[in-house]
Chains A and B, each alone.
Chain A
């Protein structure tokens, strides 16, 4: 976690240095480094969470309240079943999400200008207003 933080600082400092040398946009090695560093934020976050959760054991509040004293009176089968249900649901939901994400990434973006101008000017169709489309009043249709 700390190492990853230092690597992030390194990315920042290196980019400033390359910028100063005016070679930022040609530095392939540095660009690859930034690409590899992509997931580092998430990994550092998870690592930090594991450190705090494991590090405070056997206390919930260090030195004052033990974990065993603060646990809710929930039966083991209920807890096990809910953990399994969470794991299954999240794998499923995130799996489907990543599938749709990759499929969207594989599709080139379309402007779909035509479709919106039709919808804006048809009184009977409630258009799906695109966030970057111009305001209906600002639009002139010939």
Chain B
């Protein structure tokens, strides 16, 4: 029996699964980072401990997605990453800063507040850049021949910025539900109270962006 294997399809699925897994898994720990400054000192430590053993594992999905794209679809990789270059760099540096902040805040005495802000800003910038990338990708990329032909700020549109805000909102929702699952006490109660508003916000963002997409 002749079994033909559709490698491009298989690899496209693998990359799709990796990106989805990344968005869900790193989404909640980025969400915890975005919620971080609103927590008390005790809650901050608890929140960090819930994500400490897993956040870097979650980010490995990004490596599989990016590495898979590079290895199996080099033309798409070269075009898309050239178009989204400033965003990719902003996201990577934000992830660097955020990961380092998680580790350093345990070591610091006087500068803990500084690393807390670093953790928050890193998470926020990473989430925003991912959302804006998604928006820019949906809107399309200018190609000529086999290379990217647009400018380096083509990604900056109202639609892509709204996508960025929507991703931040979605990650905050994921982060809150994670903290509800993992913690007890005041933090749990507060997160629960905020949940209906957040869910409604994310729902509106999904509906709004989906109806804007065809235009």
Q: Could you list which residues of chain A lie within 8 angstroms of chain B, going by C-beta atoms?
A: 72-75, 77-78, 81-82, 85-86, 89, 93, 96-97, 100, 103-104, 126
Contact of B85 among A74, A86, A126 (CB under 8 A): A74
The contact string, 1 if C-beta is below 8 Å from chain A, for chain B 155-184, is 000000000000000000000000000000
Contact B86 A103 (CB under 8 A): no
B42 interface hit (Cβ, 8 Å):
no
Q: Secondary structure of the B side of the interface?
A: helix
B82 interface hit (Cβ, 8 Å):
yes
Question: How many pairs of residues, A versus B, come closer than 8 Å at their CB atoms?
Answer: 43
Report the bound CA distance from A104 to B108 in whole Å: 11
Report the bound CA distance from A73 to B144 in whole Å: 11
CB distance from A77 to the nearest CB of B (A): 7
The contact string, 1 if C-beta is below 8 Å from chain A, for chain B 94-107, is 00110010001001
Other contacts beyond A73-B149, A82-B85, A126-B49: 13, CB < 8 A = A72-B81, A74-B82, A74-B152, A75-B151, A81-B86, A82-B89, A85-B93, A86-B89, A86-B93, A89-B97, A93-B96, A100-B104, A100-B108
Residues of B contacting A104 with CB < 8 Å?
A: 107
Residues of A contacting B81 with CB < 8 Å?
A: 72
Q: Could you list which residues of chain B lie within 8 angstroms of chain A, going by C-beta atoms?
A: 49, 78, 81-82, 85-86, 89-90, 93, 96-97, 100, 104, 107-108, 147-149, 151-152
Contact B97 A93 (CB under 8 A): yes
Report the bound CA distance from A73 to B82 in whole Å: 6
CB distance from B151 to the nearest CB of A (A): 7
Contact B82 A89 (CB under 8 A): no
Can you list 19 A-B pairs, Cβ within 8 angstroms, ordered by A?
A72-B81, A72-B82, A72-B148, A73-B148, A73-B149, A74-B85, A75-B151, A75-B152, A82-B85, A82-B89, A85-B89, A85-B93, A86-B89, A89-B93, A96-B100, A97-B104, A100-B107, A104-B107, A126-B49
CB distance from B198 to the nearest CB of A (A): 28
A73-B93 in contact given A78-B86, A93-B100, A104-B107 (Cβ < 8 Å): no
Residues of A contacting B90 with CB < 8 Å?
A: 85
Q: Which residue of A lies closest to B147 (CB)?
A: A73
Report the bound CA distance from A13 to B81 in whole Å: 49
| 5 smallest beta-carbon distances between A and B, as pairs | A75-B152, A78-B152, A82-B89, A100-B107, A72-B82
Residues of A contacting B93 with CB < 8 Å?
A: 85-86, 89
